[in-house]
């Protein structure tokens, strides 16, 4: 290894001292919300020298940012709404985010079939894709490809040949949204930010009617503290209006939440060769995306006004997605009983009178209240870096600093798993270490772990090697090493943080998760020195999460 990866100390084992620091220091900026918006902003602000504190009331990425379609995409459909500026910006962002985290943001060709009586015309789609490629500055080799009927069916033989007329391949990127958040936060911490999960903002502190801090509740130790900050940023996604209400500044523009649901089936049941973006029954478009041992399908887009803590999924969501799949992929015959997992998230969009959920703009906006509270809403996972840049520019100017001397640097900041990837030797050394532990035949598993961690996997593998040497079975050693890594370097505080947001097992490998609840709970309890009572509670809560993804409401 030319450069040994260093892992940041980012752990709830240090919670007490981190809490003391949070309480005793004065912060330039308090960011509320540990989703992609908060995490991206923390990195931008910390890298420009601001003293940043980010707090998250649950686990990082537990809101919308672990429940997206997991694409870094330009948003082809926004072309229809003539949102050219948005398409250009997020389209270009794709390549930047890929460059900074190539292990986590991975090129993915999308198949777009043109169907008989479908909503896409061959020529209009061809023109739209050319505009899309042009706006996003797509490289020559990645530009759209036009396919005839046979080529389209060869690309994806499961589609009904009677309704497929032709198709296109175009380029997007897939990611793991929750891991993108966690790696952004680790990068922010490396640049000097402080971030803590399970710490909720319950109220604000004011001086002369201007916001000057916040009241925070520690959800783990049930302790309440007050902190001081010059600027308070409300980056709480679907919860933005809730905090604006507490601040007394919920006026004029408000959020319009729309719910999006995904269902997951075993890849064996829906053996897609590649990702497809296709027509639904009601003239919308949804994705079917193969990933590891499953295929996931989504999303819906409906106005949502109920409990935002747990949006859940309904029978009509399931029916809609299954019927849309079965209509095009006629050999597949998916049934409700084939569903292995689901997730459901809320888009924090900005309300526009008279517009349906799908027509609402995905643009982001900053609201600066008279109280001083600065809220940010709207936007997409893909555009997080530009949202963060706009917000940081705004704060820099409000602080009276010169923008020309404090320019955004994130275009060039590599995420932690990419640190050292520029030297091919490092990757080779890590691959060889993997092979020495697991043999030559586990390439597919290696790929999953590589995309999860990038070069950070080397740290996990070194731990694994030690555990194997101590007599553990290789894959069991890998599990425990990954857990140790998550405890010390990825701030987990509950087994669900590990199973849902650090490894994605709840969504992508539910059977794997079921078999590992007991050892993970026991080992985590050892790290935190917790006894039987907490272990029992953790097991119950983990089982609740495991079952909840299968609960379909009427």
CA nearest to 374, candidates 133, 108, 29, 99? 29
Please say whether the beta carbons of 346 and 257 come within 8 A: yes
Helix, strand or coil for residue 174? strand
**Residue at token pair 């991975």:** 106
- Contact between 357 and ligand FAD per CB under 6 A: no
Write the secondary structure of 481-495 as one string of H (helix), E (strand) and C (coil).
HHHHHHHHHCCCCCH
Q: Does position 73 bind ligand FAD by CB under 6 A?
A: yes
Q: What is the 3-state secondary structure (H, E, C) of 361-395?
A: CCCCEEEECCCCCEEEECCCCCCHHHHHHHHHHHH
CB atoms within 10 A of CB 236: 26
**Alpha carbon distance 53, 189 (integer Å):** 10
Task: Work out how close the CB of 291 gets to ligand FAD at its nearest, in angstroms, rounded to a whole number.
Answer: 13
By CB under 6 A, which span of 50-58, 132-140, 156-164, 225-233 interacts with ligand FAD?
Answer: 50-58
**Residue number, 5 or 348, with CB nearest to ligand FAD:** 348
What single-letter DSSP state applies at residue 415? P
User: What is the contact mask toward ligand FAD in residues 75 to 104, using x (rule: CB under 6 A)?
Assistant: ------------------------------
Q: Does 15 bind ligand FAD (CB under 6 A)?
A: no
Q: What phi, psi does 153 have (nearest 5°)?
A: -70, -30
User: Are the C-beta atoms of 434 and 446 separated by less than 8 Å?
Assistant: yes
Q: Quick check: 47 binds ligand FAD (CB under 6 A)?
A: no
**Site map for ligand FAD, 247-286, x if CB under 6 A?**
-------------x--------------------------
Contact between 417 and ligand FAD by CB under 6 A: the answer reads: no
Quote the least distance from Cβ 325 to ligand FAD, whole Å. Answer: 17
Q: Which stretch binds ligand FAD (CB under 6 A): 61-69, 399-407, 421-429, 523-531?
A: 61-69
Which structure tokens are listed for 143? 């530009």
Q: Does 155 bind ligand FAD (CB under 6 A)?
A: no
Tell me if 346 contacts ligand FAD by CB under 6 A.
yes
**What DSSP state is assigned to residue 175?**
-
Minimum separation from the CB atom of position 158 to ligand FAD (A): 22
Token match 């908060």: residue? 38
Range in contact with ligand FAD (rule: CB under 6 A) among 78-86, 346-354, 412-420, 435-443: 346-354
Q: How far is the CB of 111 from ligand FAD (least distance, A)?
A: 17
Using CA atoms, how far residue 289 sits from 106, 221, 298, 328, 467, in Å, is: 13, 41, 9, 14, 35
Among residues 12, 29, 30, 63, which is the contact residue for ligand FAD, using CB under 6 A?
Answer: 63
Nearest distance, CB of residue 144 and ligand FAD, angstroms: 19
The answer to whether residue 69 forms part of the interface with ligand FAD (CB under 6 A) is: yes
430 binds ligand FAD (CB under 6 A): no
Our CB check for ligand FAD shows the closer of 381 and 521 to be: 381
Shortest distance, position 106 Cβ to ligand FAD, whole Å: 13
Span 190-219, contacts to ligand FAD by CB under 6 A = 200-201
Nearer to ligand FAD, 29 or 421 (CB): 29
Closest listed residue to residue 218, CA positions, set 496, 15, 494, 488: 15
For position 236 contacting ligand FAD by CB under 6 A, the verdict is yes
The residue within the footprint of ligand FAD, chosen from 41, 299, 342, 503 (CB under 6 A), is: 299
Query: Tokens 């409700």 correspond to what residue?
Result: 336
Helices (H), 48-197: 84-100, 122-135, 149-155, 177-190
DSSP string, 458-519: HHHHHHHHHHHHTT--HHHHHHHHHHHHHHHHS---SHHIIIIIIS-HHHH-HHHHHHHHHH
Tokens of 374: 């600065």
Residues that bind ligand FAD (CB under 6 A): 32-38, 55-58, 62-65, 67-71, 73, 200-201, 235-239, 243, 260, 299, 345-348, 379-382
């Amino acid at each position: 290894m030319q450069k040994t990866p260093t892992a940041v100390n980012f752990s709830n084992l240090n919670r007490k001292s981190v809490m003391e620091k949070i309480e005793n220091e004065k912060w330039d900026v308090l960011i509320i919300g540990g989703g992609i918006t908060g995490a991206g902003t923390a990195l931008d602000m910390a890298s420009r020298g601001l003293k940043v504190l980010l707090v998250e009331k649950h686990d990082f990425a537990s809101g919308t940012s672990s429940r997206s379609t997991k694409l870094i995409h330009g948003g082809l459909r926004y072309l229809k709404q003539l949102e050219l500026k948005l398409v250009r910006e997020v389209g270009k962002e794709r390549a930047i985010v890929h460059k900074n985290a190539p292990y986590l943001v991975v090129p993915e060709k999308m198949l777009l079939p043109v169907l008989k009586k479908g909503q896409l015309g061959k020529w209009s789609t061809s023109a739209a894709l050319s505009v899309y490629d042009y706006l996003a500055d797509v490289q020559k080799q990645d530009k759209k490809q036009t396919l005839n009927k046979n080529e389209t069916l060869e690309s994806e033989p499961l589609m009904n040949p009677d309704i497929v007329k032709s198709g296109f391949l175009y380029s997007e990127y897939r990611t793991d949204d929750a891991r993108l958040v966690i790696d952004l936060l680790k990068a922010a911490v490396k640049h000097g930010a402080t971030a803590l999960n399970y710490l909720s903002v319950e109220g604000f502190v004011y001086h002369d009617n201007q916001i000057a801090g916040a009241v925070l509740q520690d959800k783990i130790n049930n302790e309440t503290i007050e902190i001081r900050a010059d600027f308070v940023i409300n980056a709480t996604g679907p919860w933005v209006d809730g905090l604006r209400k507490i601040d007394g500044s919920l006026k004029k523009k408000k959020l319009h939440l729309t719910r999006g649901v995904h269902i997951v089936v075993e890849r064996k049941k829906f053996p897609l060769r590649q990702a497809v973006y296709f027509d639904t029954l009601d003239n919308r478009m949804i994705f079917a995306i193969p990933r590891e041992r499953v295929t996931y399908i989504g999303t819906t887009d409906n106005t949502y006004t109920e409990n935002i803590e747990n949006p859940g999924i309904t029978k009509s969501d399931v029916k809609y997605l299954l019927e849309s799949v079965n209509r095009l992929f006629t050999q597949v015959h998916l049934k409700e009983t084939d569903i292995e997992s689901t997730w459901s998230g809320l888009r924090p969009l900005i309300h526009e009178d008279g517009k349906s959920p799908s027509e609402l703009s995905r643009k982001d906006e900053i609201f600066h209240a008279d109280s001083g509270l600065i809220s940010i809403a709207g936007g997409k996972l893909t555009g997080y870096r530009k949202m963060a840049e706009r917000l940081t520019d705004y704060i820099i100017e409000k602080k009276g600093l010169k923008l020309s001397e404090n320019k955004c640097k994130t275009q060039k900041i590599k995420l932690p798993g990419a640190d050292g990837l520029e030297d091919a030797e490092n990757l080779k050394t890590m691959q060889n270490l993997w092979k020495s532990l697991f043999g030559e035949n586990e390439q597919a598993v290696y790929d999953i772990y590589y995309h999860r961690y990038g070069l950070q996997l080397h740290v996990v593998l070194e731990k694994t090697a030690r555990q194997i040497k101590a007599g553990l079975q290789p894959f069991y050693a890998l599990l425990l090493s990954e857990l140790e890594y998550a405890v010390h370097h990825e701030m987990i505080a509950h087994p669900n943080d590990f199973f849902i947001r650090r490894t994605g097992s709840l969504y992508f490998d539910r059977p794997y998760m079921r078999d590992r609840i007991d050892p993970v709970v026991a080992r985590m309890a050892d790290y935190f020195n917790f006894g039987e009572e907490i272990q029992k509670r953790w097991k119950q809560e983990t089982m609740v999460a495991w079952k909840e993804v299968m609960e379909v409401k009427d």
